[in-house]
Structure 1
Amino acid sequence: MKVIINNGFFSIITFLLLQPCFAQSSKPAKQRPNIVYIMSDDHGYQAVSAYGYGLNRTPNIDRLAKEGILFTRASVTNSLCAPSRAVLLTGKHSFINGKIDNEARFDWSQDNFAKELQQHGYQTALIGKIHMDGLPQGFDHSAVLIDQGEYYNPNFIVNGTKQQLDGYVTDLTTDMAIDWIKDRDTSKPFCLLFHQKAPHREWLPALRHIAEYTKMKFPEPKSLFDDFTNRGTAAKTAEMNILKHMNWAGDNKVPPAMMDELGLKEGISWDKAAFNNNLGRMSAAEREAWDKVYDPIMEDFKKKYPSMNEQDLMRWRYQRYLQDYLGTVAAVDDGVGRMLDFLKENGLDENTIVVYTSDQGFYLGEHGWFDKRFMYEESLRTPLLVRYPAEIAAGQKSAALVQNLDFAPTLLDYAGVSIPKDMQGKSFRKLASGKKKWRDAIYYTYYEYPSIHAVKRHYGVRTDRYKLIHFYYDVDEWELYDLEKDPEEMNNVYNDPKYKTVRTTMHKKLNQLRKQYKDSDEKDQRFLPKKKQKI
């Protein structure tokens, strides 16, 4: 349109045409959201009460479900602590970022989403467990546990300097997370990775919870005494059975002297050492309070042990396991509540994205197991709850197949930062706001074999209904599960003629994903140990 100028002024027509532009530009820019990403370690979704399994109560974590969205089928790409954290940071599969197992070194020089946020004006912090060597990069402040960390009076590396702190690790991590937000530069948005050690093995609850949780009795899973009929070699040879492979002292808290008295043998060489080291970190007052609760439990076990059969022992060990595991979860839930209350009290809750998740799932007696690693559901799936009132409607549930691969691109998307093209995940921002379209399958890999728990190397694909897994290295076996008819994965139907068409379709989908994510048999060979080891 021709612009008419009269005596140096815009014509009224032009003024009216441009007025909406002036009005729009005069509005303040939308404030970028803060991010609090809370990740626990080995927290199975079954142990979050919002998921409805009835094992325990987590009222504070549940607040995120009530006020945001709960993902019912969120999963990981590699169910192991350090690899999962590397995937979170990089938005790339393990075979791309290089952190395939707990032993491989992580290359901190590679790009991660915290570095991207830093470069775009965010202040960043990592507090708690990261389980990777080297000073974390991408963070203005870091206070991380050494390796797995300790429950009582733990050591932290604070911005490169080792410090021992007095107290319980879950509470200390929460304290430091809140204090960092208090002391931040309020002129900038922030991203805090708030990582709890709990409920990782060997499960030492806070003293305030031990009397309550050691009195609880928990329902047994249907598959507690699974004999692995209709499953392959991998499930039958894994070393994570509660009766056979759990440590008596370190895990179940049977004192080493009592083990000797009863003739109980160490399953792993560090069993008694774990008990002595973990409880040896306690102050005299802490140890006295601990012994007051646990000594009577162990004396009762000592009396009953001579007449207990294998089923009795399995049931006793299962209850001891759940009591301590869920006792550590209680303190994690306390910490989430403290963080949510702090954000609200300081006017930060409306513009802060709060994520709660775990680095993977965990077996709570299903198939008779503890630990993780497998592509089976309890290990593959992880809790995921997200609250962000500005965009996410309260009380939502989503069955979408999101993965930890998606965290980095999602958080960058919310922050208004361009997602690097080499990130392999997808932003689920629109999904959380109600969009329905999403991926129809996920890809999984696991490499840490030969190693502890003896879970064989495998990769696979999961769709809405089916799961196809290939175990390799010292075996060559395939498993196929119909998750609709067999949600507990008790029956491998790979060789069932009725599933021939499904099997063909799943192989095609698996090949498609391996190509999409740039994985291959050649890569698998590159990650093999140089020489086969006997376990």
Structure 2
Amino acid sequence: MSESKLYFLFLVAAFAFSCNAKEEQKQPQKPNIIFIMADDHAYQAISAYGGGLNETPNIDRIAKEGAIFTRATVTNSICAPSRAVLLTGKHSFMNGKVDNIQPFNWDQDNFPKLMQANGYTTALIGKIHLDGQPQGFDYSMVLPGQGHYYNPDFLINGEKKRIEGYVTDITTDLALDWLENGRDKEKPFVMLYHQKAPHRNWKPAPEYLTLYDDKEFTPPANFFDEETNYQGRGTAAREQEMEIDEIMRWGRDLMLEVNPNGDSTGLAGDLKRFNPEQLKAWREAFDPKNAAFLKAYGQLDEKTLSMEKKREIAIWKYNRYIKNYLRTIKSVDDGVGEVLDYLEANGLAENTIVVYTSDQGFYLGEHGWFDKRFMYEESFRTPLLVKYPKEIKPGTTIKNLVQNLDFAPTFLDYAGIEAPKEMQGESFRKLVSGESKEWRDAVYYTYYEYPAEHSVKRHNGVATDRYKLIHFYYDIDEWELYDLEKDPSEMNNVYDNPEYAEVREMMHKKFEEVREKYGDSDANDKRFLDEYMEVYNRRNGK
């Protein structure tokens, strides 16, 4: 073969290689995903939402650099079911995890499995609260059950190990270690980074034990709602057991080793988990504050207390609760900052979707309550902040009714993976990028765990941007209707108000439509009630 012909063939090959290289460069780079979920983090306790309770500068960075959702909601406001919905993109009655008691079937499809099968490296770090070995993850290091704040145990791919330190800091360190040393850096990644905090029983980190000691928090305007017997609402509001004043425990929740009557609360046993240094810091922070309270209110006869004194004690309890709750969030915010800084420092920020949310909302004294479970706003709404520089403009606000049902199909959409037909959520990718304004006009809610702690009745319901219709069932049969525009605190049930007759009819129609759309029915309610009561009665020796 002549030299000229060889040179010609070389040029052809070089040109072909160059074209192929350009084609490879044109292939879009799949985004990484970091999904940050706190436990029971109320939107009211994120400063980007304007509640004024605390400052969360690092979580706020996600909103400033991306989007904040003002009507994000959950399908079932309780820990394990919410997480099952996140993973599967299906309502509780479809994925089978309707309460904290029933087992979760890991064999069903979830979005990490699908992303793993399509070239992603995946990790789950922190709290998942679902029994069984997690599926869909190359690496999992999770808390068993609720986990402990101090010196927690972790399950490392199923093997238990105790780690010295504070759980929020440890979870963040594990996440950063996986990002730096554990992931396959040749692949895009998905990391579920889940904090235990601020779940009950709100033990702050050593460095934040005295944070807010110089501040007195004013309870919400409806904090003493119980004094009116929840006038304007129904049986469910009156019979719940989540009042800060009545239900919170002196030891577990309020951090007193001795109650006002002088009896031991059992907290000392809980503190045995602390090492000497941790215990010393704890006692230096809490012993003087506890002594001051007992000096002022110890040995008081609750039966003869004046209304003024009862209110004083209730407000003290509220402050003890809210300060510890916010102290635990300070550590969560610190961790978010560390992860965001890592992405910036390693050139990953531009191509990484960062989500911050909670598994549900939480009561911070509204109606005098703590906890969640209800379809009322503080429990039903959840914080949601998302940033992705390639597609989301800084400072975006989304007012549409997005749910935790939508996470799975959204992440699959970003990754270029078709969502299975059985997934019931919708991708909000085009909504948050501004490409489309089309979205659902109503969301559906279910709650099943009754009878149980906090005594929140079984209920389901539908919500639009303005109205909410709730049906409480099983041992009662009551409907509640709220006009969120006129009554954002849901103080006045207008179901029987003649002025709302047309709205009531419209909402009942909407209720039936969404039940049919998602495949729910009275038969589902009965099935899950029977299954729950069988376990409940067995556990209670009945």
In the superposition, the TM-score normalised over structure 1's length comes to 0.92
CA–CA distance in 1 between the matches of 2:323 and 2:478?
A: 36
Deviations 1:238-268 (A, max 9, x none): 000001001111100011xx22x62569xxx
CA–CA distance in 2 between the matches of 1:206 and 1:371?
A: 21
CA–CA distance in 2 between the matches of 1:345 and 1:100?
A: 41
CA–CA distance in 1 between the matches of 2:64 and 2:432?
A: 14
Q: How does 1:266-345 map to 2 (within 5 A)?
A: 272-273=265-266, 275-306=267-298, 309-345=309-345
Please identify, of 524-533 and 46-55, the stretch whose mean Cα deviation from structure 2 is larger.
524-533
What residue in structure 2 maps to residue 426 of structure 1?
426
CA–CA distance in 2 between the matches of 1:302 and 1:176?
A: 40
- 1:336–1:277 distance in 2 versus 1, CA, 3 Å: farther
What residue in structure 1 maps to residue 255 of structure 2?
253
CA–CA distance in 2 between the matches of 1:214 and 1:427?
A: 44
Q: How does 1:372-387 map to 2 (within 5 A)?
A: 372-387=372-387
1:182 aligns with one of 180, 183, 205: 180
| % identity of equivalent residues | 60
The CA deviation at 1:28 is 2.8
The one-letter code of the counterpart of 1:209 is Y
Checking the alignment, whether the CA contact within 8 Å between 1:214 and 1:320 is kept in structure 2 is no
What residue in structure 1 maps to residue 84 of structure 2?
86
What residue in structure 2 maps to residue 132 of structure 1?
130
Question: For 1:89, what is the secondary structure of its paired residue?
Answer: helix
Please identify, of 512-521 and 428-437, the stretch whose mean Cα deviation from structure 2 is larger.
428-437
CA–CA distance in 1 between the matches of 2:248 and 2:116?
A: 43
Q: How does 1:42-441 map to 2 (within 5 A)?
A: 42-183=40-181, 184-226=183-225, 227=228, 228-255=230-257, 258-259=258-259, 262=261, 272-273=265-266, 275-306=267-298, 309-434=309-434, 435-441=436-442
CA–CA distance in 1 between the matches of 2:527 and 2:419?
A: 29
- 1:293–1:514 distance in 2 versus 1, CA, 3 Å: same
Deviations 1:138-168 (A, max 9, x none): 0000000010000000000001110000100
Checking the alignment, whether the CA contact within 8 Å between 1:76 and 1:380 is kept in structure 2 is yes
CA–CA distance in 2 between the matches of 1:473 and 1:119?
A: 42
- 1:24–1:188 distance in 2 versus 1, CA, 3 Å: closer
CA–CA distance in 1 between the matches of 2:24 and 2:364?
A: 56
What residue in structure 1 maps to residue 16 of structure 2?
none
The CA deviation at 1:277 is 4.4
The one-letter code of the counterpart of 2:57 is P
CA–CA distance in 2 between the matches of 1:201 and 1:23?
A: 54
Deviations 1:436-489 (A, max 9, x none): 221100000000000000000000000010000000000000000000000000
Checking the alignment, whether the CA contact within 8 Å between 1:150 and 1:278 is kept in structure 2 is no
Structure 1: gaps spanning 5 or more residues? 1-20, 266-271
What residue in structure 2 maps to residue 456 of structure 1?
457
CA RMSD of the aligned region, Å?
1.7
CA–CA distance in 2 between the matches of 1:476 and 1:464?
A: 25
CA–CA distance in 1 between the matches of 2:20 and 2:146?
A: 56
Checking the alignment, whether the CA contact within 8 Å between 1:357 and 1:383 is kept in structure 2 is yes
CA–CA distance in 2 between the matches of 1:277 and 1:193?
A: 33
Question: For 2:255, what is the secondary structure of its paired residue?
Answer: coil
Deviations 1:409-453 (A, max 9, x none): 001101111111110000000011012221100000000000000
The one-letter code of the counterpart of 1:405 is L
Question: For 2:487, what is the secondary structure of its paired residue?
Answer: coil
Deviations 1:310-356 (A, max 9, x none): 11111000000001000000000000000000110011100000000
Checking the alignment, whether the CA contact within 8 Å between 1:449 and 1:455 is kept in structure 2 is yes
In the superposition, the TM-score normalised over structure 2's length comes to 0.91
CA–CA distance in 2 between the matches of 1:86 and 1:330?
A: 27
CA–CA distance in 2 between the matches of 1:338 and 1:479?
A: 44
The one-letter code of the counterpart of 2:209 is I
Checking the alignment, whether the CA contact within 8 Å between 1:33 and 1:189 is kept in structure 2 is yes
Question: For 2:246, what is the secondary structure of its paired residue?
Answer: helix
The CA deviation at 1:23 is 11
